[in-house]
């Protein structure tokens, strides 16, 4: 009988012991709210912001309730108006167009190529047609486009870039950390991301006005001086009177859990990439399966793995997914007609007007996706690749 994988694709590593101890300390004193501090105490949330800003080489950082909240806050800080068109990738997850729609703006989807990154030719065309001034760039599933070329295009067109780095915390393009190209960058600390607090988000920028707005938006009231990675008090002088409170703060409990994880982020990223390469090596030269080519300039962080079954029928892709599932390997498909679980595509979000993009549709139809939690060993990854290879080959040969 064929071997069956016994591991869980949703089981993450435990919180490190120093994170557990830090969380217990917060629970013992009970001051979970970020602005509830004792005399002389610095809140865990303020310390996390300071440390993440230092890691990223950013001037300012704000910790918030979720990555999606960070995205919407960035758009509010940029003054996005109801009805305004905001560009974003066709290959992304629902919180990205959801953030755009949540501020009353209109998502305009830009095509994706076989590298699973934004199509720069289509981006140029959509900028020209829409006159959009903002691109919310999703580094979906950890794939970085040519950031030098993208920024040159956007800078020339006067388009400001907000980076959705939910899947690229710790990744780099040409040595520059993901999130350091655009005017603002948003990160997630949801359970399946590179740091795990269940839910949570981080927002960075070097722009004092934008970050002062973001801090007030997050629900700082007039307590912004308690932040250690925020703009100076004078940046808030006028902003505080005209910026609404849309409360979405991170609490000290989650910040306490995250601070030790930040200290080990680089080693965790290396461990994910070891697993990615093990799967990639096992799938190389599989008949009918296309590997995603990663550019040399991209120092990626791969907490998930994608491959393409280009031009396969829906039935054949479904057979692969079902056969792998029977052997314990959970695959997600972005080509399904209906959204399932976390997986959806641009035509699933009917609150946003869409036009068909045949080249993009072909790519999305072929994307097969799976998580690579660090609870998997390298042997586990080799077994997973072997199972996928066998089942893809069997369906391909039978077609």
pLDDT of residue 33: 98
pLDDT of residue 42: 96
Q: Could you give the domains of the chain?
A: 17-263 (3.40.640.10), 265-398 (3.90.1150.10)
Phi, psi dihedrals of residue 155, rounded to the nearest 5°? -60, -40
Task: Tell me how far CA of residue 228 lies from CA of 60, 62, 183, 203, 253, in angstroms.
Answer: 9, 10, 20, 14, 18
3 state SS of 390: helix
Angle of CA points 304, 282, 142, to nearest 5° = 20
Alpha-carbon gap, residue 332 to 306, rounded angstroms: 9
Alpha-carbon gap, residue 147 to 297, rounded angstroms: 10
193 token code pair: 């991301």
pLDDT of residue 303: 95
Phi, psi dihedrals of residue 370, rounded to the nearest 5°? -150, 150
Helices and strands (H and E) in the chain: how many:
13, 14
Nearest to 173 by CA among 194, 152, 195, 202: 152
Phi, psi dihedrals of residue 205, rounded to the nearest 5°? -170, 160
Other CB atoms within 10 A of residue 176 CB: 16
**106-123 burial, b for 16+ CB within 10 Å, e for fewer?**
bbbbbbbbbbbbbbbebb
215 token code pair: 């801090």
**23-62 burial, b for 16+ CB within 10 Å, e for fewer?**
beebeeeebbebbebeeeeebbbbbbbbbbbebbebebbb
pLDDT of residue 340: 87
Give me the helices (H) in the chain, please: 17-29, 44-56, 67-77, 95-102, 120-130, 147-157, 208-217, 239-242, 252-263, 265-283, 314-326, 358-366, 378-398
Mean pLDDT split into 10-residue runs, the chain, 399 residues: 89 96 97 96 98 98 98 98 97 96 97 98 98 98 98 98 98 98 98 97 98 98 96 96 97 98 97 98 98 97 97 97 97 88 88 91 96 98 98 95
**129-149 burial, b for 16+ CB within 10 Å, e for fewer?**
eeebbbbbbbbbbbbbbbbee
Alpha-carbon gap, residue 132 to 83, rounded angstroms: 11
- The C-alpha torsion from 321 through 324 and 326 to 328, rounded to 10°, is -120
Per the CB < 8 A criterion, the answer to whether 103 and 82 are in contact is: yes
Alpha-carbon gap, residue 80 to 134, rounded angstroms: 9
Q: Which residues contact 14 (CB under 8 A, 6 or more apart)?
A: none
pLDDT of residue 157: 98
163 token code pair: 């980076």
pLDDT of residue 338: 84
């Amino acid at each position: 009988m064929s071997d069956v994988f016994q591991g869980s694709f949703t089981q993450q590593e435990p919180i490190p012991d120093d994170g557990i101890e830090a969380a217990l300390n917060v629970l013992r004193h009970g001051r979970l709210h970020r602005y509830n501090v004792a005399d002389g105490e610095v809140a865990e949330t303020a310390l996390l912001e300071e440390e993440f800003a230092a890691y990223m080489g950013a001037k300012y950082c704000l910790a918030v309730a979720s990555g999606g909240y960070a995205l919407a806050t960035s758009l509010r800080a940029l003054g996005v108006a109801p009805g305004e068109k905001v560009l974003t990738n066709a290959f992304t997850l629902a919180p990205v167009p959801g953030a755009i729609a949540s501020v009353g703006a209109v998502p305009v989807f830009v095509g994706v190529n076989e590298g699973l990154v934004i199509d720069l030719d289509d981006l140029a065309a959509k900028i020209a047609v829409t006159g959009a001034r903002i691109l919310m760039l999703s580094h979906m599933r950890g794939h970085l486009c040519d950031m030098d070329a993208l920024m040159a295009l956007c800078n020339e067109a006067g388009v400001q870039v907000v980076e959705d780095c939910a899947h690229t915390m710790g990744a780099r393009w040409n040595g520059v950390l993901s999130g350091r190209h655009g005017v603002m960058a948003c990160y997630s600390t949801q359970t399946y991301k590179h740091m795990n607090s269940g839910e949570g988000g981080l927002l960075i920028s070097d722009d004092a006005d934008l970050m002062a707005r973001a801090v007030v938006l997050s629900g700082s009231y007039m307590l912004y001086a308690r932040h250690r990675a925020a703009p100076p008090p004078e940046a808030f002088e006028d902003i505080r009177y005209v910026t609404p409170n849309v409360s979405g703060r991170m609490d000290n409990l989650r910040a306490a859990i995250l601070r030790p994880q930040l200290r080990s982020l680089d080693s965790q990223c290396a461990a994910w990439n070891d697993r990615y390469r093990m799967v990639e090596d096992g799938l190389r030269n599989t008949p009918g399966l296309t590997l995603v080519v990663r550019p040399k300039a991209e120092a990626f962080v791969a907490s998930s793995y994608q491959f393409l079954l280009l031009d396969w029928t829906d039935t054949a892709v479904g057979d692969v997914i079902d056969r792998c599932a029977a052997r314990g390997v959970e695959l997600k498909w972005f080509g399904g007609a209906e959204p399932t679980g976390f997986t959806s595509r641009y035509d699933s979000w009917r609150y946003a007007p869409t036009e068909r993009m045949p080249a993009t549709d072909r790519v999305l139809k072929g994307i097969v996706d799976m998580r690579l939690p660090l609870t998997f060993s390298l042997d586990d990854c080799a077994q997973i690749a072997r199972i996928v290879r066998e089942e893809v080959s069997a369906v391909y040969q039978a077609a």
